[in-house]
Amino acid sequence: MKKIWIFLLIVSNLSNAQEDTYYDNTNWKHLSTANYDFELPFTGKQQTSSLVVDIDNDGIPEIFLTERTSAPSVVMYKCEANKWERYIIDNEPLRIEAGSTAWDITGNGYKDIVFGGDSGSNQVWWWENPYPKLDKNIPWVRRIIKNDGSNKQHDQIFGDFTGKGQGELVFWNQGAKSLMIAEIPTDVKNVDFWNHRPIYQYSSDSQMEQIGHEAYPRWKGVNEHEGLFKIDIDGDGIDDIVGGGYWFKYIDDNNFQANIIDARYTFSRVIAGQFIGGGRPEVILVAGDGLAPIMLYEWVKGTWFGREILDGQRIENGHSLDVLDFNNDGCQDIFIAEMRLNGDNPDSKMSILFGDGKGNFKAHNIALGFGNHESRIIDLNGDGLYDIVGKPYNWEVPRLDIWINKGNKLNLRRF
């Protein structure tokens, strides 16, 4: 029988482990399709992306999942009377890639959702939120954002990146080796596509030796870029774009300046935050597909100094990454979770790295042995505590796991 462990207390035989107690005896309630707690999301076996967003403004977010081999391709789980009910969002097969974002595209006060096509599709789509006319069996209207050019759009993000006071969609188009930007059209429901253009392009002729290159998948392209996050890096009041080992600053006339962070880590997941007090935000990079260290980059007088967070340890397919303050101590923490691609990595970790505000972290394992691919950490029930949505890519799929945080304290120990 396969062994899967949910940790209420971490026990280690590492003699040099350092332990600090921020929380003791955390009580997590684990729900899963494996335990028949809610309906299976799909029939297909490749769950590519997830999105957790409040679509009806009731303070309780909904969970969206996608699958790229069969119909339905998009489903939503909505909590109703303490039960997660499954809704069909798109009942047609779509080649949806990892990555997602949400924005009030129609301007009616309710967020709509966006997903992009994989290496077999050149499309990016948005689905119109029909609230208050929600029905489990009536799909949402899907519309086109991009329907031309090259395939593969891994990662999307919305934000006001030009300071114009309006939302802009940014997405990687890996087939075109480009970072694209698109403005929301005025008559967005009645256009065939959104105008989009590259703000950065890279070459596949060559690359620096990549961090963790030995374990990257065969399908990774030379110098392939991915990962997106938004944060004001330079303190000018405008959110910048972070991804692909760079950060991108709006200059003028719709031009962006590419600023290097680490050209050895272009194929990475990314977050950023004030992990060290004062100065610019720090950037965190980790391999979403591969075996490589999780890195922190600190900007000092024009140079990004990088260092490993976990002292020589490697993250295996760390495709779930987020920033938060889990214990409300004013210091930013990191959520990181590993995949179980094709059933490998039986000791996969789902962890919180507790920050001290000085760039140091202590790791707490929440669960071992689960598959995580775009797993999310967010308050799912409005009680002010962080809960977890666990989504695997192809481990024991179709599958969805949820961990509800019932409070109390965590016992921390380094890996």
| pTM (2 d.p.) | 0.93
Q: What is the SS3 assignment for 62?
A: strand
Cα–Cα distance for residue pair 10/414, rounded to 1 Å = 9
Domain locations in the chain as residue ranges? 58-201
pLDDT tens digits for the chain (415 residues)? 444 544 443 333 322 223 333 333 468 999 999 999 999 999 999 999 999 999 999 999 999 999 999 999 999 999 999 999 999 999 999 999 999 999 999 999 999 999 999 999 999 999 999 999 999 999 999 999 999 999 999 999 999 999 999 999 999 999 999 999 999 999 999 999 999 999 999 999 999 999 988 899 999 999 999 999 999 999 999 999 999 999 999 999 889 999 999 999 999 999 999 999 999 999 999 999 999 999 999 999 999 999 999 998 999 999 999 999 999 999 999 999 999 999 999 999 999 999 999 999 999 999 999 999 999 999 999 999 999 999 999 999 999 999 999 986 554 443 3
Could you tell me if residue 204 is left (phi over 0), alpha (psi between -120 and 50 degrees) or otherwise beta? alpha
pLDDT for the residue 51: 99
Q: Which positions ≥6 away from 307 have C-beta within 8 Å?
A: 295, 296, 298
Residue 358's Cβ-side half-sphere holds a number of Cα atoms within 13 Å equal to: 3
pLDDT for the residue 254: 82
pLDDT for the residue 388: 98
The token duo for 120 is 């077999």
E strand spans, 112-177: 112-116, 123-128, 141-147, 156-159, 168-173
Q: Which is it for the CA torsion 258, 261, 266, 272, positive or negative?
A: negative
pLDDT for the residue 2: 45
